[in-house]
Amino acid sequence: MKKNLLSLLIALPFFAISQTFVSTTPENKNVILEEFTGISCQFCPDGHKIAQDLKDLYPNDVFLINIHTGGYASPQGSGTDFNTPFGTSLANQAGVTGYPAGTVNRHVFSGGATSMSRSAWSSSATQMMSQSSPVNVGVQASVNMSTRVLSVDVEVYYTGNQTVSSNKLNIAVLQENVPGPQSGGSTYNPSAILADGRYNHKHMLRHLMTGQYGVPITNISQGSLYSNNFTWNVPNKLSGYNLSPEIDLTNLTIVAFVSEGNQEILSGTEVNPTVVFTNQFDANLTSVNAQDIVCANSNNIEVSFRNFGNQNLTSLEIEYSIGGGIAQTYNWSGNLSPGATETVAINNVSFTPVVNNQVTISLKNPNGNTDQNLANNNSSTQFYHYQSYGIVSSGHSTGNCSFEITTDQYASETSWEIIDDNGNILSSGGPYSSQGTFNSNFNLPSGCYSLYVYDSFGDGIPGGGYTLRDSNGDVIHQKYNFSGSKDQDFFQMGSSTNVAEEINSNIYLFPNPSTGILNIDGNFDKIMIYNSLGTLVYEGFSNTIDLSKLNNGIYSTIVRTDKGIYRDQVILLK
């Protein structure tokens, strides 16, 4: 009997007597739905909802990868660049011609391309899940909060035979719950709108640990087992993408899948990494925010931090300064469990105004002890003082002011608001239910204000416009046919000195959007062009400007003439 048992054990494959986590039972194919999307794509939120509903219906069989790429994915400011080095190649391979688009297991269901419109995703996924798979995929992962090393273990077991001689393993790193802008979000996927008005992006591709199209698996015979370990030193942001969001280690998802080559996906699965806190005392500074100021000399600072220690965080010193001034300390106390987040508002911090004001923050002494990871304790941000730019108009009469706006046929895309220097909304309007002209009246006391007019689709108000008047009926700001997603103006009520009067001039910037060359029609002294961060990227006197070396995006222009200034926004789309 002993001899027979030994013979039986020798005959069994290795995986039967070793610890494995991949299933060895034949299964049907799981679905990898790669969705091609963008933040300026009006109907993309509808695609997000369709894909999420499908995943909710089949949570163990459908796995989503959202790939931001193309013109609709152009960033709109800091933290809004969701692109990766992989998106363009994946979209080209899929044959994407419109957005949103998606592939189901990179399979060609009809025509010659894998890319499909969102109406075909559900039926294609159902068809794919009915087919048997020759391979099962298992994955485990962990991420070290101190070293930022992501470790992924993959096992692939072959339950059937194939006609090809090799496969490829792909490991995608996704980030969940990324707040940001999104056209059409409130209309087509309102449940994804956050309390602050931003859109909650999910399943966002951040990295492919196995490269653009995976690593080879050479032994794919029935009964064979492939296993491997992969690591990634996760950066705070993607290299080369300065406007990308921070990569939050506690909001990652790993999707592993096996393909026949670069195209047909056989099956896959996903896992959320185990989060490992190795340090006892580790405060992680996640973000610093300070709003732009029109003309005040104090500002509020918002500081967010997380407890990356393995015990509750109960006290912390927050050291802060503006413009290189003397550092001050805010003493925080509370009770944060490992991984938990806290946001602190430090209000009415005085500063000496300049155009670009730097805010510096440092976290110190968590629970009264030396922080064991100093690499994540410091950060900075900047805010702009528009009066120092010389673009704040003044001399406007306080009291009962008026705002008149004429929408285009897409009135539901149009809204506006007037905000004071403390961030309070004094008046607002829209979105509107139908095309027309709308009037609002409101009181504006002495102070400094920002006017913002929004178009959620991003093409402005062609054929429409707006006028803001003070209590005497004099024009504060007026604009017709503005382009882009936002127009803005800054003004001071109750001041007798006109700092920089805006004019209704004959200045005309074209073409807009521009593919690289911008022309200026009209007489002017100088033009200045600023990017979305407020950084001056061009200053000159030419009527023809070459913008081809700048990144795609929305740029603010200030044209100085002998009568005053003219402001506009230019979209660069190469």
Q: Are 453 and 487 in contact (CB under 8 A)?
A: yes
* Residue 442 confidence (pLDDT): 94
Q: pLDDT tens digits for the chain (574 residues)?
A: 333 433 333 333 433 434 589 999 999 999 999 999 999 999 999 999 999 999 999 999 999 999 999 999 999 888 999 999 999 999 999 999 999 999 999 999 988 899 999 999 999 999 999 999 999 999 999 999 888 999 999 999 999 999 999 999 999 999 999 999 999 999 999 999 999 889 999 999 999 999 999 999 999 999 999 999 999 999 989 988 989 999 999 999 999 999 999 999 999 999 999 999 999 999 999 889 999 999 999 999 999 999 999 999 999 999 999 988 889 999 999 999 998 999 999 999 999 998 889 999 999 999 999 999 998 899 999 998 988 877 888 889 999 999 999 999 999 989 999 999 888 899 999 999 999 999 999 999 999 999 999 988 878 888 889 999 999 888 888 888 877 778 888 999 985 433 344 444 578 788 877 888 998 888 888 888 887 666 678 888 888 999 888 888 778 788 877 666 677 778 887 7
DSSP 244-313: PPP--GGGEEEEEEEESSSS-EEEEEEEPPEEE---SS-EEEEEEE---BSS-SEEEEEEEEEE-SSS-E
For residue 255, give the nearest of 22, 32, 25 by alpha carbon.
Answer: 32
H-state helical runs in 131-193: 185-188
* Residue 13 confidence (pLDDT): 41
For residue 104, give the nearest of 140, 138, 130 by alpha carbon.
Answer: 130
Nearest 5°: phi and psi at 313?
A: -95, 125
* Residue 258 confidence (pLDDT): 98
Look up residue 59 and give its amino acid.
P
- Alpha-carbon distances, residue 514 vs 483, 536, 546, 560 (angstroms): 12, 18, 10, 21
Domains and CATH numbers, the chain: 20-276 (2.60.40.10), 283-385 (2.60.40.10), 390-502 (2.60.60), 504-574 (2.60.40.10)
Strand order across the beta sheet in which 283-289 lies: 283-289, 298-307, 341-350
- Structure tokens, 374: 């100093």
Distance CA 395, CA 380 (A): 35
How many angstroms from the chain centroid is the CA of residue 193? Answer: 13
Distance CA 149, CA 147 (A): 5
* Residue 9 confidence (pLDDT): 33
* Residue 199 confidence (pLDDT): 96
Is the bond preceding 511 in cis, omega lying within 30 degrees of 0?
Answer: yes
Q: Which residues pair with 571 in a beta bridge?
A: 554
* Residue 42 confidence (pLDDT): 93
